[in-house]
Amino acid sequence: MSAGLCASCGSDPAPGASFCWLCGYPLGAGAAPVARIAQASPAAGIGWVVAFVVALFVLSGVGLELAFLWPGLLIPYAAALVPVLVVMTRILYVQRFDFWEGSKSGPAAAASSGAALAPAQPASGATREAPDGSSDVVAKVVTTVAVGMAGTAIAIGLLMLLAVAAFVFLVAICFAAILVLGH
Amino acid sequence: MTVAPPSAWHVVERVWSYRGEERANLMRILAIACFYAIELVNRHGLNLGFIEFPPVEGVDERFHAAVTALAVAWVASALGVLIMMRSRRFPTTLKYITTTVDVVLLTSILLIADGPRSPLVITYFIILAAAPLRFSAGLVRYTALATIVGYVVLVGDAWLRRPETRVPRYQQLMTILALALAGLALVYLMKMLREAAEAYAARREAP
Ligand SMILES: [Zn+2]
């Protein structure tokens, strides 16, 4: 059993928490361990990466449709989407879900890197099947594809916002020039 | 008599409802992707040579724009749930909130589509079928009630505002009855699941 996981459900607790976020079991010394819920974790947690990729596809498709319907709406759309994508990409990139934290150190880092993609795949440290590597490769490939797609989407969104900013800037300069020259 | 202590059931329920909510969210996003793809085909038409989907009459720009907006809202809420759960926030009310959002958004789409006449009405059954994934009889009851209310809203809208989307009275009653009975079967399923788990635990403990 890896240190730092909830003694009751095996999930990866938040740093410094005194109760398990999932099952409410008190963490730390003094808590008598109950029968641990052992379970195999099918598809060790790449489902949510797939969900993210599909969501990205839908949102890109919607962006294409918006370009046909009302191109003007692409701007607020990009502005709303970019922060969400940045958060998701950060989560995918650092392989941790408390993405706002800096780099972790100590045993917590070791524990969470083991259960990185699966904070709530209980007992992931204890009952994980013998590492055959194939599911790890799949998870890595899917994650890399997701990061790449999200990065591209963010780049497109930022370029679009930059173009708008440049346009506004140009208009402002023209306006100022007209005002100055008009005098 | 030995039954599993409630705390053990609580832990099991929390863990499995987390996984169920995750799966339901994945299903939600996949379903929106598929249904939006169908909407795109209806709007633009699709000719694959051996099979052709002509553009559907009545899918005008306004309708398409509204469906697009609702699809974006739906995907955004699913992404929000994804981020929330992945940053260890999983309140017990989350399943009620996500289900309410599903029913409200589906009802909104149907209100701008063909109302009770639309084939999308069967999507209420998909929402109901996803309720037991969260391991809660209360949620199944709530979902059955919410989908029935959503359907009644559609029927009321057709009755008051859009007579062209009305369906016969027997069809309304059959749909409501089917939702209620499906909900009842799923509530029984939830109860039996728990009883089976407790019986299994008792048998394992018995010498
Ligand atoms: Zn726990």
Tell whether B23 lies on the interface with A, counting CB pairs under 8 A: yes
The domain of B189 spans: 8-201
Q: Which helix (H) or strand (E) holds B186?
A: helix B169-205
In the predicted model, what is the mean pLDDT of residues B84-110?
Answer: 92
Q: Answer whether residue B2 is part of any domain.
A: no
Question: Which percentage of chain B shows pLDDT scores above 70?
Answer: 96
Other Cβ atoms closer than 10 A to B186: 20
Q: Partners of A19 in the beta sheet?
A: A26
Q: Answer whether residue A1 is part of any domain.
A: no
Mutant choice from A58, A60, A66, A112 vs B, greatest count of B C-beta within 10 A:
A58
Tell whether B101 lies on the interface with A, counting CB pairs under 8 A: no
Q: What is the pTM of this model?
A: 0.69
Q: Answer whether residue B207 is part of any domain.
A: no
Q: Answer whether residue B37 is part of any domain.
A: yes
Tens digit of pLDDT for each residue in A28-72? 654 444 444 444 333 346 677 777 778 887 887 788 777 777 777
* CA–CA distance, B129 with B146 (Å, rounded to integer): 13
Q: Answer whether residue B165 is part of any domain.
A: yes
Q: Answer whether residue A142 is part of any domain.
A: yes
Q: Partners of A26 in the beta sheet?
A: A19
User: Coil, strand, or helix at residue A19?
Assistant: strand
CB A139 within 8 A of CB A43: no
The answer to whether B71 contacts A58, with C-beta atoms less than 8 Å apart, is yes
Q: Answer whether residue A7 is part of any domain.
A: no
Touching A: B residues 117-156, CB under 8 Å: none
Question: Which percentage of chain A shows pLDDT scores above 90?
Answer: 0
A/B interface, count of CB pairs below 8 Å: 108
The answer to whether B88 contacts A97, with C-beta atoms less than 8 Å apart, is yes
Q: Answer whether residue A10 is part of any domain.
A: no
Tell whether B68 lies on the interface with A, counting CB pairs under 8 A: yes
* CA–CA distance, A109 with A82 (Å, rounded to integer): 29
The domain of A49 spans: 43-182
B113: closest CA of chain A, how far (Å)? 19
Mutant choice from B87, B92, B134 vs A, greatest count of A C-beta within 10 A:
B87
Ligand 1: centre distance to CA A120 (Å): 9
CB A49 within 8 A of CB A143: yes
Ligand 1: centre distance to CA B168 (Å): 52
ipTM of the complex: 0.70
Domain count, chain B: 1
Tens digit of pLDDT for each residue in B44-88? 887 777 777 788 777 778 888 888 889 989 998 998 898 888 888
